[in-house]
Structure 1
Amino acid sequence: MKGIWVINLTKWKPVLFICVAALFVASWLVIQRDYVPVFSTPDGPQAFYKAEDSGQKVALTFNISWGEHNVSPIVEILEQENVEHATFFLLASWAETYPNLVKEIADAGYTIGSHGYQYKNYTSLNEDQVAQDMRRSKQVLEELTGEVPTLLRPPNGAFSSRTLQLADEQNLDIVHWSINSYDYENPGTEAIIKNSTDQTGSGDVLLFHASDTVKQTAAALPTVLKQLKRDGYEFSTIEELMSNTNADNTEVD
């Protein structure tokens, strides 16, 4: 008569739980890996989100894709607070519609980067479409400002390893962020101030918006700037943070 094996499930429950949990985490990482903002290796394309060695310096960045009412007030606040450096990532189709606002940003001395031409996630487009969007945006911004943009923030911050390579082929550095103000959620000025200052440290890249969809950024910004200055921070360009960083780099698969 053959023996019958009986498994004590109670004994093996902890082991099964650990295995299932590990499988879940591994699956999540595979799904997410193409969308995590990271540096690349020194030999490959870069996606910049934070400098680990930059003294008491941070970078202010503003995305613009729609509307005309918030740009001038935000530029004026930056000038009133003697902020010499900030980067505006412009959707090029928006820039075509509002060349006077592009000129206002440039005349104030702030850096203009590309936010693409269409507002479509690069991860949802094929390679030719992404490359064409990058080229068109560069062309438009160069025509409007007289300077070729070198910084790119893809729409919604979505990119993959192939996006990095395509950007590198066009001499563009992809810039993400490490501090999100969440101003696009219109959570109230106090929340924007808290989101922008509580966790900010040296080398951080702060994300704001200057589109008409944000209703509270201009009201919160003066306090944010004053608080960061009180905490000892200086406002730097993205390029300076990138050149001064000694951060360890990681590849995007």
Structure 2
Amino acid sequence: MKSNYRTNKNRWLIIFITAFFAALYLFAETTSSFSIVSKKEEPKAFIKSGEEDSDQISLTFNISWGQEKVFDILDILKEQDIHATFFVSGEWAERHPKILEQIAEDNHEIGMLGYRYKSYVKQDMEEVRTDLLRAKEVFRKLGYPDIKLLRPPSGHFNEEVLKTVDQLGLTTIYWSINPDDWKNPGTKKIADTILDKASGGDIILLHASDVIKHTGSALKETIPKLKRDLSFVTISELISNSSSESEALN
């Protein structure tokens, strides 16, 4: 009996530790904050939406770990005949080149989350530059040399980060709607947040990592309703077809 009790106790301890670190990782993946620094230099802009009177909207998906749920998302997008933008980390791309290839073959746009998924405001700018250059090299070797869109890890950035990103020829993409799907609040909560807030020019932040439980069902509910008045496009299409709304840290 003691042996069985000890085995069960150890098993539950392992499950608890695994769940804790998965939640911690996803919290880092989605938490957003801005660190505003010196105003002496010209502020660099980031894009959080397209033109307000546009009839276009963009779905974006962050992926930095996992390999299961992304296929569910891809299937739904194919069924609905829409294209989205997937932001993936260089580390994830190295581990899952075939999935990245499938994303591209389905005519979705690929953006980067840097190489390592680590907040840029917690690193010096040389480390940030090194991370970005490493990510660019990874994508180049995988056959994607022209990636121009960056979503900083955890959505964290400041003026220095924006300046470094700009110097490397990348455009910083944020979002205007965040239903916190990674927290798994339920299909209705995710769908209601999107439907209540969505309008032309919006950029919606979602996830395709394995932690998600309700994102797929929420998409099935929201996409047909949004399609009545809006068309889904990639980020590049959204910002090229309108005078996109950018914001500066000042």
> Is the shorter-chain TM-score for this pair beyond 0.5, marking a shared fold?
yes
1:159 aligns with 2:161: no
Within the candidate set 139, 142, 146, 1:141 is matched to 139
**Greater gyration radius:** 1
Aligned to 2:25: none
Q: How many Å apart are 1:158 and its aligned residue?
A: 0.5
Q: How many Å apart are 1:252 and its aligned residue?
A: 1.2
Within the candidate set 227, 230, 234, 1:229 is matched to 227
Q: Secondary structure at the match of 1:61?
A: strand
Q: How many Å apart are 1:249 and its aligned residue?
A: 5.2
**In structure 2, what is the Cα distance between the partners aligned to 1:54 and 1:91?**
32
- The two structures have a TM-score, normalised by structure 1, of 0.79
Check whether the contact 2:54–2:242 (CA below 8 A) recurs between aligned residues.
Answer: no
Q: Secondary structure at the match of 2:86?
A: strand
Aligned to 2:63: 64
Check whether the contact 2:56–2:232 (CA below 8 A) recurs between aligned residues.
Answer: yes
Aligned to 2:91: 93
Check whether the contact 2:46–2:248 (CA below 8 A) recurs between aligned residues.
Answer: no
Aligned to 1:110: 108
Matches within 5 A, 1:184-199: 184-199=182-197
Structure 2 unaligned segments of length 5 or more: list them. 1-32
Structure 1 residues 32 and 71: alpha-carbon distance in aligned structure 2, compared to 1, 3 A threshold: closer
Q: How many Å apart are 1:223 and its aligned residue?
A: 1.1
Check whether the contact 1:102–1:145 (CA below 8 A) recurs between aligned residues.
Answer: no
Q: Secondary structure at the match of 1:184?
A: helix
**In structure 2, what is the Cα distance between the partners aligned to 1:146 and 1:155?**
20
Q: Secondary structure at the match of 1:180?
A: coil
**In structure 2, what is the Cα distance between the partners aligned to 1:157 and 1:213?**
18
Matching residue's letter, 1:203: G
**In structure 2, what is the Cα distance between the partners aligned to 1:248 and 1:224?**
24
Q: Secondary structure at the match of 2:185?
A: coil
**In structure 1, what is the Cα distance between the partners aligned to 2:175 and 2:143?**
24
Aligned length: 214
Structure 1 unaligned segments of length 5 or more: list them. 1-30, 36-42
Q: Provide the identity percentage.
A: 37
Q: How many Å apart are 1:248 and its aligned residue?
A: 6.4
Q: Secondary structure at the match of 2:166?
A: helix
Aligned to 2:36: 34
Q: How many Å apart are 1:236 and its aligned residue?
A: 1.5
- The two structures have a TM-score, normalised by structure 2, of 0.80
Give the RMSD, CA atoms, in angstroms: 2.0
Matching residue's letter, 1:99: P
